[in-house]
Amino acid sequence: MKLNRLIISISLAMAGTAQANPDQWQYPLFGGDPFTPQQWHLKNTGQDGYSPLTGVAGEDLDVDFAHAMGIKGRGITVAVIDSGVEIDHEDLRANVVPGSINLLDGSGYPTDGHGHGTAVAGIIAAVEANGLGGRGVAPLANLIGFNYLDAQSEQSWFLSHGRTAENGKRELNRFTDARIYNQSYGSTLLKPFPYDYEANPSLLAKDSAMADVTNDSQRGQGSLFVKSAGNSYGTYRVGAWLILPREDGLYYNNHGLPFHSANLSHENINYWNMVVSATNAEGKRSSYSSVGSNVWVAAPGGEYGTDAPAIVTTDIQGCDKGMNRAGTSSNRLNGGSELDPVCNYTATMNGTSSAAPNASGAAAVVMSANHALDARTVRHVLAQTARQNDADIEPIMLSFTQADGTVASYDALPGWQRNAAGYSFHNFYGFGSVDVDAAVWKVLFGGVQNLPEQVVTPWSLVAANVQIPDATLEGVTSELNIEQNLTVEAVQVKLNIDHSRLRDLAIELVSPSGTRSVLMNPRVGFIGENIEEGVLLSNHFYGEQAAGVWTLRVRDTDAGTSETVAFNTQTRQLLKLNTVNNAEPGVVRDWSLRIFGH
Give the per-residue pLDDT at 173. 72
At 17 the pLDDT is 46
How far is it, in rounded angstroms, from Cα 250 to Cα 353?
30
At position 541, the amino acid (one-letter code) is F
Nearest to 175 by CA among 92, 81, 75, 272: 75
Residue 573 CA from chain centroid, whole number: 33
Q: Which pLDDT band holds residue 170 (cuts at 50, 70, 90)?
A: confident
Mean of all residue pLDDT scores within the chain: 94
Closest Cα partner for 150 from 138, 140, 160, 142? 160
**Weakest mean pLDDT among 170-179, 200-209, 293-302, 507-516:** 170-179
How does pLDDT run across 274-315, given as a tens digit for each residue?
A: 999 999 999 999 999 999 999 999 999 999 999 999 999 999
pLDDT recorded at residue 11:
53
At 187 the pLDDT is: 85
Q: Global pTM?
A: 0.95
Q: How many CA atoms lie within 13 A of 97 on its CB side?
A: 15
Pick the closest to residue 118 from 87, 149, 96 (CA basis).
Answer: 87
Predicted confidence band at 8 (pLDDT cuts at 50, 70, 90)?
A: low
pLDDT band per the 50, 70, 90 thresholds, residue 583: confident
Could you report the per-residue pLDDT of 467-509, keeping only the tens digit for each? 999 999 999 999 999 999 999 999 999 999 999 999 999 999 9
pLDDT of residue 13 exceeding 50: no
**pLDDT score, position 193:** 79
Q: 2 pLDDT exceeds 70?
A: no
Q: Band of the pLDDT at 175, cuts 50, 70, 90?
A: low
pLDDT above 80 (res 21)? no
Q: Which residues pair with 398 in a beta bridge?
A: 410
Q: Which residues of 230-241 are buried (b: 16+ CB within 10 A; e: fewer)?
A: bbbbbbbeeeeb
User: Could you give the CA distance from residue 297 to residue 284 in angstroms, rounded to a whole number?
Assistant: 13
Q: What one-letter code names the amino acid at 261?
A: S
Neighbours of 221 (CB within 10 A): 22
pLDDT of 153 strictly over 90: yes
pLDDT of residue 330: 84
pLDDT for residue 16 is more than 60: no
| Segment 173-186 mean pLDDT | 88
Note the pLDDT of residue 30: 61
- When pLDDT is averaged across residues 327-348 and rounded to a whole number, the result is 94
> Which residue numbers are catalytic?
82, 116, 353
Q: What whole-number distance in Å separates Cα of residue 533 and Cα of residue 459?
A: 12
**3-class SS letters over 361-420:** HHHHHHHHHCCCCCHHHHHHHHHHHCECCCCCCCCEEEEEECCCCCEEEEEEECCCEECC
Name the CA radius of gyration of the chain, rounded: 23
The residue that leads in pLDDT, 320 or 172, is 320
Higher pLDDT, 44 or 194: 44
- Check residue 428 and give its pLDDT: 99
479, 549 contact by CB (below 8 A): yes
**Measured between alpha carbons, how far is 178 from 141 in angstroms, rounded to an integer?**
10
Q: For the chain, what is the total number of helices (H) and then of strands (E)?
A: 8, 27
Q: What is the pLDDT of residue 527?
A: 87
Spell out the domains of the chain, with CATH numbers in brackets.
Answer: 2-230+268-386+434-445 (3.40.50.200), 455-597 (2.60.120.260)
